[in-house]
Structure 1
Amino acid sequence: MDGTLDHVMIRVADLQTSLDWYTTHLDYEEKDRYEGDGFTIVYLGPEDMHEDGAMLEITHNEGEELELGDAWGHIAVRVPEGELEASYEQLMDEGVEDYRDPESCGGRYAFVKDPDGHEVEIVQRDHGAKWSLDHTMIRVEDADEALGFWIRKFGYDEVGRWEADTFANYFVEPRDAAPEEMAVELTYNYDGRTYDYGDSWGHLCVRIDDVHDDWETLMEREAPDYRDPESCDDLYAFTKDQDGHEIELLERDPAADSLFPF
Protein backbone atom coordinates (compact mmCIF):
# COMPACT_ATOMS: atom_id res chain seq x y z
CA MET A 1 0.00 0.00 0.00
CA ASP A 2 1.52 3.31 -1.08
CA GLY A 3 -1.47 5.57 -1.61
CA THR A 4 -1.19 9.09 -2.96
CA LEU A 5 -1.26 12.04 -0.57
CA ASP A 6 -4.67 13.47 -1.39
CA HIS A 7 -4.97 16.53 0.82
CA VAL A 8 -3.90 18.26 4.00
CA MET A 9 -6.53 19.65 6.36
CA ILE A 10 -6.23 22.78 8.47
CA ARG A 11 -8.87 24.49 10.58
CA VAL A 12 -9.70 28.17 10.16
CA ALA A 13 -11.47 30.70 12.36
CA ASP A 14 -13.30 32.59 9.61
CA LEU A 15 -14.19 30.69 6.47
CA GLN A 16 -14.69 33.62 4.12
CA THR A 17 -11.51 35.38 5.24
CA SER A 18 -9.50 32.23 4.55
CA LEU A 19 -11.19 31.60 1.22
CA ASP A 20 -10.48 35.18 0.15
CA TRP A 21 -6.82 34.83 1.18
CA TYR A 22 -6.13 31.60 -0.68
CA THR A 23 -8.13 32.47 -3.78
CA THR A 24 -6.67 35.99 -4.01
CA HIS A 25 -3.02 35.40 -3.15
CA LEU A 26 -2.43 31.80 -4.28
CA ASP A 27 -4.97 31.84 -7.12
CA TYR A 28 -6.70 28.79 -5.67
CA GLU A 29 -10.17 27.84 -6.76
CA GLU A 30 -12.86 26.04 -4.83
CA LYS A 31 -12.90 22.41 -5.94
CA ASP A 32 -15.82 21.26 -3.77
CA ARG A 33 -17.67 22.11 -0.58
CA TYR A 34 -19.57 20.22 2.08
CA GLU A 35 -21.95 21.96 4.46
CA GLY A 36 -22.45 19.90 7.60
CA ASP A 37 -24.27 20.50 10.86
CA GLY A 38 -22.24 23.30 12.40
CA PHE A 39 -19.22 22.96 10.13
CA THR A 40 -18.10 23.56 6.54
CA ILE A 41 -15.36 21.80 4.59
CA VAL A 42 -13.89 23.32 1.41
CA TYR A 43 -11.34 21.76 -0.94
CA LEU A 44 -9.00 24.25 -2.64
CA GLY A 45 -6.25 24.03 -5.24
CA PRO A 46 -4.84 25.60 -8.40
CA GLU A 47 -7.04 25.50 -11.47
CA ASP A 48 -4.56 23.39 -13.46
CA MET A 49 -3.37 21.12 -10.66
CA HIS A 50 -1.98 17.68 -11.54
CA GLU A 51 -4.38 14.73 -11.30
CA ASP A 52 -2.36 13.40 -8.35
CA GLY A 53 -1.65 16.80 -6.89
CA ALA A 54 -2.78 17.39 -3.31
CA MET A 55 -5.56 19.74 -2.31
CA LEU A 56 -5.82 22.00 0.70
CA GLU A 57 -8.84 21.24 2.86
CA ILE A 58 -9.96 24.07 5.10
CA THR A 59 -12.47 23.25 7.82
CA HIS A 60 -14.51 25.82 9.70
CA ASN A 61 -16.39 24.83 12.85
CA GLU A 62 -18.97 27.37 13.93
CA GLY A 63 -18.19 29.09 17.22
CA GLU A 64 -14.84 27.34 17.69
CA GLU A 65 -11.81 29.31 18.83
CA LEU A 66 -8.55 27.96 17.45
CA GLU A 67 -5.12 27.72 19.00
CA LEU A 68 -1.97 27.01 17.01
CA GLY A 69 0.29 24.26 18.26
CA ASP A 70 3.82 23.46 17.15
CA ALA A 71 3.46 19.76 16.27
CA TRP A 72 2.78 20.71 12.68
CA GLY A 73 4.96 23.13 10.83
CA HIS A 74 3.76 24.35 7.47
CA ILE A 75 2.53 23.66 3.99
CA ALA A 76 4.90 24.45 1.11
CA VAL A 77 3.76 25.78 -2.26
CA ARG A 78 5.68 25.87 -5.54
CA VAL A 79 6.77 28.71 -7.76
CA PRO A 80 8.87 28.30 -10.93
CA GLU A 81 12.64 28.30 -10.67
CA GLY A 82 13.98 31.85 -10.63
CA GLU A 83 10.66 33.39 -9.55
CA LEU A 84 10.98 33.23 -5.77
CA GLU A 85 11.72 36.89 -5.15
CA ALA A 86 9.18 38.12 -7.70
CA SER A 87 6.49 35.84 -6.26
CA TYR A 88 7.23 37.02 -2.73
CA GLU A 89 7.13 40.67 -3.81
CA GLN A 90 3.81 39.99 -5.54
CA LEU A 91 2.38 38.78 -2.24
CA MET A 92 3.78 41.82 -0.43
CA ASP A 93 2.20 44.13 -3.01
CA GLU A 94 -1.12 42.37 -2.43
CA GLY A 95 -0.95 43.13 1.28
CA VAL A 96 0.30 39.82 2.66
CA GLU A 97 2.29 40.35 5.88
CA ASP A 98 6.09 40.18 5.53
CA TYR A 99 7.20 37.18 7.58
CA ARG A 100 10.44 35.58 6.26
CA ASP A 101 11.62 37.05 2.98
CA PRO A 102 13.92 35.23 0.52
CA GLU A 103 17.01 37.13 1.68
CA SER A 104 16.52 36.01 5.28
CA CYS A 105 16.28 32.41 4.02
CA GLY A 106 19.48 32.49 1.97
CA GLY A 107 17.60 33.07 -1.29
CA ARG A 108 16.42 29.45 -1.32
CA TYR A 109 12.84 29.79 -0.03
CA ALA A 110 10.56 32.17 1.87
CA PHE A 111 7.60 32.09 4.25
CA VAL A 112 4.30 33.92 4.69
CA LYS A 113 1.38 33.32 7.04
CA ASP A 114 -2.31 32.94 6.28
CA PRO A 115 -4.98 34.78 8.34
CA ASP A 116 -4.90 32.12 11.09
CA GLY A 117 -1.13 32.08 11.39
CA HIS A 118 -0.60 28.88 9.43
CA GLU A 119 2.86 29.10 7.88
CA VAL A 120 3.14 28.78 4.10
CA GLU A 121 6.60 28.13 2.66
CA ILE A 122 7.39 29.16 -0.91
CA VAL A 123 9.80 26.83 -2.73
CA GLN A 124 11.17 26.85 -6.27
CA ARG A 125 10.39 23.84 -8.45
CA ASP A 126 10.60 23.05 -12.15
CA HIS A 127 7.41 20.98 -11.99
CA GLY A 128 3.82 21.43 -10.86
CA ALA A 129 1.40 24.31 -11.19
CA LYS A 130 2.36 27.60 -9.57
CA TRP A 131 1.27 27.62 -5.89
CA SER A 132 0.50 23.88 -5.95
CA LEU A 133 1.26 21.98 -2.74
CA ASP A 134 4.80 20.65 -2.66
CA HIS A 135 4.99 19.18 0.83
CA THR A 136 3.54 19.35 4.31
CA MET A 137 5.92 19.54 7.27
CA ILE A 138 5.16 17.86 10.59
CA ARG A 139 7.42 17.68 13.65
CA VAL A 140 8.32 14.32 15.14
CA GLU A 141 9.98 13.33 18.41
CA ASP A 142 11.89 10.28 17.11
CA ALA A 143 13.26 10.31 13.56
CA ASP A 144 13.79 6.55 13.37
CA GLU A 145 10.25 5.81 14.49
CA ALA A 146 8.78 8.42 12.15
CA LEU A 147 10.65 7.12 9.11
CA GLY A 148 9.80 3.56 10.06
CA PHE A 149 6.12 4.43 10.30
CA TRP A 150 5.85 5.81 6.77
CA ILE A 151 8.16 3.23 5.22
CA ARG A 152 6.71 0.14 6.92
CA LYS A 153 3.06 1.07 7.34
CA PHE A 154 2.47 2.90 4.05
CA GLY A 155 5.30 1.61 1.86
CA TYR A 156 6.63 5.12 1.25
CA ASP A 157 10.21 5.88 0.20
CA GLU A 158 12.60 8.31 1.79
CA VAL A 159 13.44 10.65 -1.10
CA GLY A 160 15.55 13.33 0.56
CA ARG A 161 17.09 14.52 3.80
CA TRP A 162 18.89 17.50 5.28
CA GLU A 163 20.83 16.98 8.49
CA ALA A 164 21.99 20.16 10.23
CA ASP A 165 23.71 20.79 13.55
CA THR A 166 20.51 20.94 15.62
CA PHE A 167 17.80 19.37 13.47
CA ALA A 168 17.13 17.14 10.48
CA ASN A 169 14.49 17.10 7.74
CA TYR A 170 13.45 13.85 6.07
CA PHE A 171 11.15 13.70 3.03
CA VAL A 172 8.92 10.71 2.28
CA GLU A 173 6.51 10.10 -0.57
CA PRO A 174 4.75 7.20 -2.31
CA ARG A 175 6.88 4.83 -4.30
CA ASP A 176 7.08 5.93 -7.98
CA ALA A 177 5.27 9.17 -7.17
CA ALA A 178 4.91 11.76 -9.91
CA PRO A 179 7.00 14.91 -9.28
CA GLU A 180 3.77 16.90 -8.93
CA GLU A 181 2.58 14.86 -5.94
CA MET A 182 2.88 16.21 -2.42
CA ALA A 183 5.50 14.81 -0.04
CA VAL A 184 5.65 14.70 3.76
CA GLU A 185 8.54 16.47 5.48
CA LEU A 186 9.43 15.01 8.87
CA THR A 187 11.31 17.51 11.03
CA TYR A 188 13.31 16.15 13.97
CA ASN A 189 14.94 18.47 16.50
CA TYR A 190 17.86 16.94 18.37
CA ASP A 191 17.15 18.60 21.72
CA GLY A 192 14.45 16.13 22.78
CA ARG A 193 11.63 18.67 22.85
CA THR A 194 7.97 17.66 22.88
CA TYR A 195 5.17 19.33 20.95
CA ASP A 196 1.72 20.75 21.45
CA TYR A 197 -0.92 19.98 18.84
CA GLY A 198 -3.33 22.81 19.43
CA ASP A 199 -6.47 22.48 17.35
CA SER A 200 -5.67 24.38 14.13
CA TRP A 201 -3.85 21.43 12.57
CA GLY A 202 -6.10 18.67 11.29
CA HIS A 203 -4.69 15.76 9.35
CA LEU A 204 -2.98 14.34 6.30
CA CYS A 205 -5.06 12.25 3.91
CA VAL A 206 -3.85 9.27 1.89
CA ARG A 207 -5.99 8.27 -1.09
CA ILE A 208 -6.15 4.48 -1.30
CA ASP A 209 -7.81 1.84 -3.51
CA ASP A 210 -10.00 0.03 -0.98
CA VAL A 211 -10.63 1.41 2.49
CA HIS A 212 -11.35 -2.01 4.00
CA ASP A 213 -8.48 -3.91 2.39
CA ASP A 214 -5.97 -1.15 3.06
CA TRP A 215 -7.19 -0.77 6.63
CA GLU A 216 -6.59 -4.47 7.19
CA THR A 217 -3.09 -4.07 5.76
CA LEU A 218 -2.40 -1.27 8.23
CA MET A 219 -3.70 -3.35 11.11
CA GLU A 220 -1.44 -6.22 10.06
CA ARG A 221 1.46 -3.76 10.09
CA GLU A 222 0.46 -2.69 13.61
CA ALA A 223 -0.70 0.83 12.82
CA PRO A 224 -2.83 2.43 15.55
CA ASP A 225 -6.52 1.51 15.36
CA TYR A 226 -7.97 5.00 15.77
CA ARG A 227 -11.17 5.23 13.71
CA ASP A 228 -11.88 2.11 11.66
CA PRO A 229 -14.03 2.13 8.49
CA GLU A 230 -17.12 0.85 10.33
CA SER A 231 -17.00 3.76 12.76
CA CYS A 232 -16.84 6.12 9.76
CA ASP A 233 -19.85 4.63 7.93
CA ASP A 234 -17.46 2.59 5.76
CA LEU A 235 -16.57 5.76 3.84
CA TYR A 236 -13.09 6.48 5.21
CA ALA A 237 -10.90 5.68 8.23
CA PHE A 238 -8.22 7.24 10.39
CA THR A 239 -4.99 6.02 11.91
CA LYS A 240 -2.29 7.97 13.77
CA ASP A 241 1.46 8.05 13.46
CA GLN A 242 3.80 7.46 16.39
CA ASP A 243 3.42 11.09 17.53
CA GLY A 244 -0.35 11.29 17.21
CA HIS A 245 -0.64 13.06 13.85
CA GLU A 246 -3.94 11.95 12.32
CA ILE A 247 -3.87 10.27 8.91
CA GLU A 248 -7.08 9.75 6.97
CA LEU A 249 -7.56 6.89 4.51
CA LEU A 250 -9.98 7.78 1.75
CA GLU A 251 -11.30 6.17 -1.40
CA ARG A 252 -12.09 8.70 -4.10
CA ASP A 253 -13.81 8.13 -7.41
CA PRO A 254 -12.45 10.70 -9.88
CA ALA A 255 -15.57 10.30 -12.02
CA ALA A 256 -17.99 11.03 -9.16
CA ASP A 257 -19.96 14.27 -9.04
CA SER A 258 -18.59 15.08 -5.60
CA LEU A 259 -15.11 14.87 -4.14
CA PHE A 260 -16.68 13.88 -0.82
CA PRO A 261 -17.64 10.28 -0.05
CA PHE A 262 -20.88 11.31 1.67
Structure 2
Amino acid sequence: MDGTLDHTMIRVEDLEESLDWYQTHLEYEEKDRYEGDGFTIVYLGPEEMHEEGAMLELTHNEGADLELGDAWGHIAVRVPEGELEDHYEQLMDAGVEDYRDPESCGGRYAFVKDPDGHEIEIVQRDQGETWSLDHTMIRVEDADEALGFWTRKFEYDEIGRWESDTFANYFVEPSDAADEAMSVELTYNYDGRSYDLGDAWGHLCVRMDDLEEDWDQLLVREAEDYRDPESNDNMYAFTKDQDGHEIELIERDLEADSLFPF
Protein backbone atom coordinates (compact mmCIF):
# COMPACT_ATOMS: atom_id res chain seq x y z
CA MET A 1 0.00 0.00 0.00
CA ASP A 2 1.08 3.59 -0.62
CA GLY A 3 0.35 4.82 2.91
CA THR A 4 0.87 8.52 2.14
CA LEU A 5 -1.28 10.76 4.32
CA ASP A 6 -3.51 12.45 1.76
CA HIS A 7 -5.51 14.90 3.89
CA THR A 8 -6.94 15.80 7.27
CA MET A 9 -10.65 16.56 7.46
CA ILE A 10 -12.24 18.94 9.96
CA ARG A 11 -15.84 20.19 10.07
CA VAL A 12 -16.73 23.87 10.08
CA GLU A 13 -19.96 25.72 10.84
CA ASP A 14 -19.55 28.65 8.43
CA LEU A 15 -17.80 27.53 5.25
CA GLU A 16 -17.25 30.97 3.75
CA GLU A 17 -15.81 32.32 7.00
CA SER A 18 -13.46 29.35 7.28
CA LEU A 19 -12.39 29.57 3.65
CA ASP A 20 -11.64 33.26 4.06
CA TRP A 21 -9.62 32.55 7.21
CA TYR A 22 -7.43 29.85 5.66
CA GLN A 23 -7.02 31.62 2.34
CA THR A 24 -6.16 34.94 3.98
CA HIS A 25 -4.00 33.89 6.90
CA LEU A 26 -2.36 30.67 5.65
CA GLU A 27 -2.44 31.68 1.99
CA TYR A 28 -4.19 28.45 1.02
CA GLU A 29 -5.89 28.04 -2.31
CA GLU A 30 -8.96 25.99 -3.10
CA LYS A 31 -7.85 22.79 -4.81
CA ASP A 32 -11.27 21.28 -5.48
CA ARG A 33 -14.85 21.28 -4.19
CA TYR A 34 -17.77 18.87 -4.06
CA GLU A 35 -21.35 20.03 -3.48
CA GLY A 36 -23.43 17.21 -2.04
CA ASP A 37 -26.99 16.99 -0.76
CA GLY A 38 -26.84 19.13 2.38
CA PHE A 39 -23.04 19.27 2.61
CA THR A 40 -20.00 20.76 0.90
CA ILE A 41 -16.42 19.49 0.86
CA VAL A 42 -13.49 21.75 -0.03
CA TYR A 43 -9.84 20.72 -0.38
CA LEU A 44 -7.28 23.41 0.50
CA GLY A 45 -3.51 23.71 0.50
CA PRO A 46 -0.57 25.94 -0.41
CA GLU A 47 -0.33 26.97 -4.06
CA GLU A 48 2.74 24.78 -4.60
CA MET A 49 2.45 21.32 -3.10
CA HIS A 50 4.71 18.28 -3.13
CA GLU A 51 2.97 15.16 -4.47
CA GLU A 52 3.22 13.66 -0.97
CA GLY A 53 2.05 16.85 0.71
CA ALA A 54 -1.25 16.59 2.60
CA MET A 55 -4.28 18.79 1.99
CA LEU A 56 -6.76 20.19 4.48
CA GLU A 57 -10.37 19.16 3.88
CA LEU A 58 -13.10 21.44 5.21
CA THR A 59 -16.52 19.82 5.45
CA HIS A 60 -19.64 21.91 6.01
CA ASN A 61 -22.95 20.25 6.89
CA GLU A 62 -25.93 22.54 6.56
CA GLY A 63 -27.45 23.51 9.90
CA ALA A 64 -24.91 21.59 11.98
CA ASP A 65 -23.81 22.82 15.41
CA LEU A 66 -20.37 21.37 16.07
CA GLU A 67 -18.77 20.21 19.28
CA LEU A 68 -15.00 20.05 19.72
CA GLY A 69 -13.97 16.88 21.50
CA ASP A 70 -10.68 16.50 23.37
CA ALA A 71 -9.62 13.37 21.44
CA TRP A 72 -8.88 15.71 18.52
CA GLY A 73 -5.71 17.70 19.06
CA HIS A 74 -4.52 19.95 16.25
CA ILE A 75 -3.00 20.31 12.84
CA ALA A 76 0.53 21.71 12.60
CA VAL A 77 1.72 23.98 9.78
CA ARG A 78 5.27 24.88 8.78
CA VAL A 79 7.18 28.11 8.65
CA PRO A 80 10.91 28.41 7.85
CA GLU A 81 13.45 28.05 10.65
CA GLY A 82 14.03 31.34 12.43
CA GLU A 83 10.81 32.94 11.15
CA LEU A 84 8.34 31.76 13.79
CA GLU A 85 7.98 35.09 15.59
CA ASP A 86 7.71 37.07 12.36
CA HIS A 87 4.93 34.86 11.02
CA TYR A 88 3.14 34.83 14.35
CA GLU A 89 3.21 38.62 14.56
CA GLN A 90 1.84 38.85 11.02
CA LEU A 91 -1.10 36.71 12.11
CA MET A 92 -1.65 38.87 15.19
CA ASP A 93 -1.54 42.05 13.10
CA ALA A 94 -4.18 40.50 10.83
CA GLY A 95 -6.51 39.90 13.77
CA VAL A 96 -5.95 36.19 14.43
CA GLU A 97 -6.69 35.12 18.00
CA ASP A 98 -3.65 35.23 20.31
CA TYR A 99 -3.80 31.74 21.81
CA ARG A 100 -0.27 30.53 22.69
CA ASP A 101 2.52 32.82 21.54
CA PRO A 102 6.09 31.72 20.78
CA GLU A 103 7.45 33.05 24.09
CA SER A 104 5.01 30.93 26.09
CA CYS A 105 6.18 27.89 24.09
CA GLY A 106 9.90 28.43 24.66
CA GLY A 107 10.36 30.03 21.24
CA ARG A 108 10.04 26.64 19.56
CA TYR A 109 6.44 26.74 18.31
CA ALA A 110 3.16 28.60 18.77
CA PHE A 111 -0.59 28.03 18.49
CA VAL A 112 -3.53 29.89 16.99
CA LYS A 113 -7.19 28.94 16.51
CA ASP A 114 -9.41 29.05 13.44
CA PRO A 115 -13.01 30.39 13.53
CA ASP A 116 -14.36 27.08 14.87
CA GLY A 117 -11.78 26.77 17.61
CA HIS A 118 -9.64 24.17 15.84
CA GLU A 119 -6.09 24.51 17.17
CA ILE A 120 -3.28 25.11 14.70
CA GLU A 121 0.31 24.66 15.79
CA ILE A 122 3.02 26.63 13.98
CA VAL A 123 6.30 24.73 13.76
CA GLN A 124 9.67 25.63 12.25
CA ARG A 125 10.89 23.42 9.43
CA ASP A 126 13.48 23.67 6.67
CA GLN A 127 11.38 21.47 4.36
CA GLY A 128 7.98 21.94 2.78
CA GLU A 129 6.13 25.03 1.64
CA THR A 130 5.32 27.73 4.16
CA TRP A 131 2.04 26.86 5.96
CA SER A 132 2.03 23.31 4.53
CA LEU A 133 0.72 20.59 6.85
CA ASP A 134 3.49 19.09 8.98
CA HIS A 135 1.51 16.74 11.22
CA THR A 136 -1.89 16.05 12.70
CA MET A 137 -2.12 15.33 16.42
CA ILE A 138 -4.69 12.98 17.94
CA ARG A 139 -4.93 11.79 21.55
CA VAL A 140 -4.89 8.08 22.38
CA GLU A 141 -5.68 6.14 25.54
CA ASP A 142 -3.06 3.38 25.14
CA ALA A 143 0.27 4.27 23.52
CA ASP A 144 1.29 0.68 22.81
CA GLU A 145 -2.01 -0.09 21.09
CA ALA A 146 -1.87 3.13 19.08
CA LEU A 147 1.70 2.54 17.90
CA GLY A 148 0.84 -1.06 17.10
CA PHE A 149 -2.14 0.04 15.03
CA TRP A 150 -0.10 2.30 12.78
CA THR A 151 3.03 0.16 12.56
CA ARG A 152 1.25 -3.16 11.94
CA LYS A 153 -1.81 -2.22 9.94
CA PHE A 154 -0.34 0.60 7.85
CA GLU A 155 3.36 -0.37 8.00
CA TYR A 156 4.28 3.06 9.38
CA ASP A 157 7.56 3.79 11.16
CA GLU A 158 7.95 5.55 14.47
CA ILE A 159 10.17 8.48 13.48
CA GLY A 160 10.41 10.28 16.80
CA ARG A 161 9.14 10.56 20.34
CA TRP A 162 9.22 13.02 23.21
CA GLU A 163 8.50 11.88 26.74
CA SER A 164 7.83 14.11 29.74
CA ASP A 165 6.79 13.38 33.32
CA THR A 166 3.08 13.39 32.47
CA PHE A 167 2.70 12.63 28.76
CA ALA A 168 4.46 11.41 25.64
CA ASN A 169 4.28 12.31 21.96
CA TYR A 170 4.97 9.69 19.29
CA PHE A 171 5.36 10.53 15.60
CA VAL A 172 4.61 7.99 12.87
CA GLU A 173 4.68 8.12 9.09
CA PRO A 174 5.13 5.77 6.11
CA SER A 175 8.52 4.23 5.49
CA ASP A 176 10.56 6.35 3.07
CA ALA A 177 8.07 9.23 3.29
CA ALA A 178 9.22 12.48 1.69
CA ASP A 179 10.30 15.26 4.03
CA GLU A 180 7.32 17.24 2.74
CA ALA A 181 4.82 14.55 3.78
CA MET A 182 2.57 14.90 6.80
CA SER A 183 3.01 12.66 9.84
CA VAL A 184 0.68 11.62 12.66
CA GLU A 185 1.41 12.70 16.22
CA LEU A 186 0.00 10.37 18.87
CA THR A 187 -0.31 12.04 22.27
CA TYR A 188 -0.59 9.78 25.31
CA ASN A 189 -1.29 11.17 28.78
CA TYR A 190 -0.12 8.98 31.65
CA ASP A 191 -3.07 9.70 33.96
CA GLY A 192 -5.41 7.20 32.30
CA ARG A 193 -7.94 9.76 31.12
CA SER A 194 -10.52 8.99 28.47
CA TYR A 195 -11.54 11.27 25.61
CA ASP A 196 -14.57 12.53 23.73
CA LEU A 197 -14.27 12.51 19.94
CA GLY A 198 -16.81 15.28 19.35
CA ASP A 199 -18.15 15.90 15.84
CA ALA A 200 -15.97 18.83 14.74
CA TRP A 201 -13.06 16.41 14.21
CA GLY A 202 -13.45 14.38 11.05
CA HIS A 203 -10.75 11.97 9.93
CA LEU A 204 -7.32 11.27 8.55
CA CYS A 205 -7.06 9.98 4.98
CA VAL A 206 -4.46 7.50 3.71
CA ARG A 207 -3.75 6.83 0.03
CA MET A 208 -3.81 3.24 -1.15
CA ASP A 209 -2.20 1.67 -4.21
CA ASP A 210 -5.19 -0.62 -4.77
CA LEU A 211 -8.23 0.15 -2.62
CA GLU A 212 -9.85 -3.29 -2.68
CA GLU A 213 -6.61 -5.25 -2.35
CA ASP A 214 -5.23 -3.07 0.44
CA TRP A 215 -8.61 -3.08 2.22
CA ASP A 216 -8.53 -6.89 2.26
CA GLN A 217 -5.00 -6.77 3.68
CA LEU A 218 -6.12 -4.41 6.43
CA LEU A 219 -8.88 -6.82 7.38
CA VAL A 220 -6.32 -9.64 7.56
CA ARG A 221 -4.43 -7.38 9.98
CA GLU A 222 -7.65 -7.04 12.01
CA ALA A 223 -8.47 -3.43 11.16
CA GLU A 224 -12.07 -2.53 11.93
CA ASP A 225 -14.49 -3.14 9.09
CA TYR A 226 -16.29 0.19 9.44
CA ARG A 227 -17.31 1.26 5.92
CA ASP A 228 -16.00 -1.09 3.25
CA PRO A 229 -15.30 -0.13 -0.39
CA GLU A 230 -18.45 -1.83 -1.70
CA SER A 231 -20.68 0.23 0.59
CA ASN A 232 -19.06 3.35 -0.89
CA ASP A 233 -19.35 2.34 -4.57
CA ASN A 234 -15.69 1.25 -4.48
CA MET A 235 -14.56 4.88 -4.41
CA TYR A 236 -13.21 4.98 -0.83
CA ALA A 237 -13.52 3.16 2.50
CA PHE A 238 -13.18 3.85 6.22
CA THR A 239 -11.67 2.01 9.15
CA LYS A 240 -11.19 3.13 12.76
CA ASP A 241 -8.27 2.97 15.14
CA GLN A 242 -8.50 1.59 18.69
CA ASP A 243 -9.79 4.95 19.99
CA GLY A 244 -12.47 5.41 17.35
CA HIS A 245 -10.59 7.91 15.17
CA GLU A 246 -11.85 7.49 11.62
CA ILE A 247 -9.35 6.82 8.84
CA GLU A 248 -10.42 7.17 5.23
CA LEU A 249 -8.76 5.06 2.56
CA ILE A 250 -8.64 6.36 -0.98
CA GLU A 251 -7.01 5.38 -4.26
CA ARG A 252 -5.77 8.68 -5.70
CA ASP A 253 -4.99 9.51 -9.34
CA LEU A 254 -2.82 12.61 -9.03
CA GLU A 255 -3.26 13.34 -12.76
CA ALA A 256 -7.09 13.23 -12.72
CA ASP A 257 -9.12 16.33 -13.49
CA SER A 258 -10.93 16.09 -10.15
CA LEU A 259 -9.61 15.19 -6.71
CA PHE A 260 -12.93 13.51 -5.96
CA PRO A 261 -13.66 9.95 -7.10
CA PHE A 262 -17.37 10.72 -7.59
Pair in the same fold by TM > 0.5: yes
Compute the displacement of 1:49 (Å). 1.4
Q: Secondary structure at the match of 1:10?
A: strand
CA contact (8 A) 1:80 1:130 kept: yes
The aligned residue for residue 257 of structure 1 is 257
Aligned AA (1:42): V
Q: What are structure 1's unaligned runs of at least 5 residues?
A: none
Deviations 1:37-79 (A, max 9, x none): 0000000000011111000000000001001000010000000
Compute the displacement of 1:89 (Å). 0.1
Aligned AA (1:177): A
Aligned AA (1:203): H
The aligned residue for residue 117 of structure 1 is 117
Compute the displacement of 1:3 (Å). 1.1
Compute the displacement of 1:132 (Å). 0.1
Correspondence 1:225 to 2:225:
yes
User: Between the two proteins, what is the percent identity of the paired residues?
Assistant: 83
Aligned AA (2:173): E
Correspondence 1:178 to 2:191:
no
Q: Determine the C-alpha separation between the residues in 2 that align with 1:8 and 1:255.
A: 21
Q: Determine the C-alpha separation between the residues in 1 that align with 2:254 and 2:169.
A: 33
How many residue pairs align between the two structures? Answer: 262
The aligned residue for residue 163 of structure 1 is 163
Compute the displacement of 1:254 (Å). 1.1
Correspondence 1:41 to 2:57:
no
Q: Determine the C-alpha separation between the residues in 1 that align with 2:206 and 2:198.
A: 22
Q: Determine the C-alpha separation between the residues in 2 that align with 1:12 and 1:140.
A: 23
Q: Determine the C-alpha separation between the residues in 2 that align with 1:226 and 1:219.
A: 10
Aligned AA (1:56): L
Q: Determine the C-alpha separation between the residues in 2 that align with 1:255 and 1:126.
A: 28
Correspondence 1:101 to 2:101:
yes
Pairwise mapping of residues 24-103 of structure 1 onto structure 2 (< 5 A)? Answer: 24-103=24-103
Aligned AA (1:60): H
Farther-moved stretch of structure 1 (250-259 vs 167-176): 250-259
The aligned residue for residue 12 of structure 1 is 12
Pairwise mapping of residues 208-247 of structure 1 onto structure 2 (< 5 A)? Answer: 208-247=208-247
After superposition, the CA RMSD in angstroms is 0.5
CA contact (8 A) 2:12 2:200 kept: yes
Q: Determine the C-alpha separation between the residues in 1 that align with 2:111 and 2:153.
A: 32
Aligned AA (2:128): G
Q: Secondary structure at the match of 1:75?
A: strand
The aligned residue for residue 191 of structure 1 is 191
Deviations 1:188-212 (A, max 9, x none): 0000000001100000000111110
Aligned AA (2:113): K
Q: Determine the C-alpha separation between the residues in 2 that align with 1:97 and 1:241.
A: 32
CA contact (8 A) 1:9 1:57 kept: yes
Please list every run of at least 4 consecutive aligned residues from structure 1 whose deviation after the TM superposition is greater than 2 angstroms. Answer: none
CA contact (8 A) 1:2 1:154 kept: no
CA contact (8 A) 1:151 1:157 kept: yes
Aligned AA (2:129): A
Compute the displacement of 1:2 (Å). 4.7
Provide the TM-score with structure 2 as the length reference.
0.99
CA contact (8 A) 1:2 1:156 kept: no
Q: Secondary structure at the match of 1:259?
A: coil
Provide the TM-score with structure 1 as the length reference.
0.99
Compute the displacement of 1:255 (Å). 1.3
Q: Secondary structure at the match of 1:215?
A: helix
Aligned AA (2:167): F
Compute the displacement of 1:27 (Å). 0.1
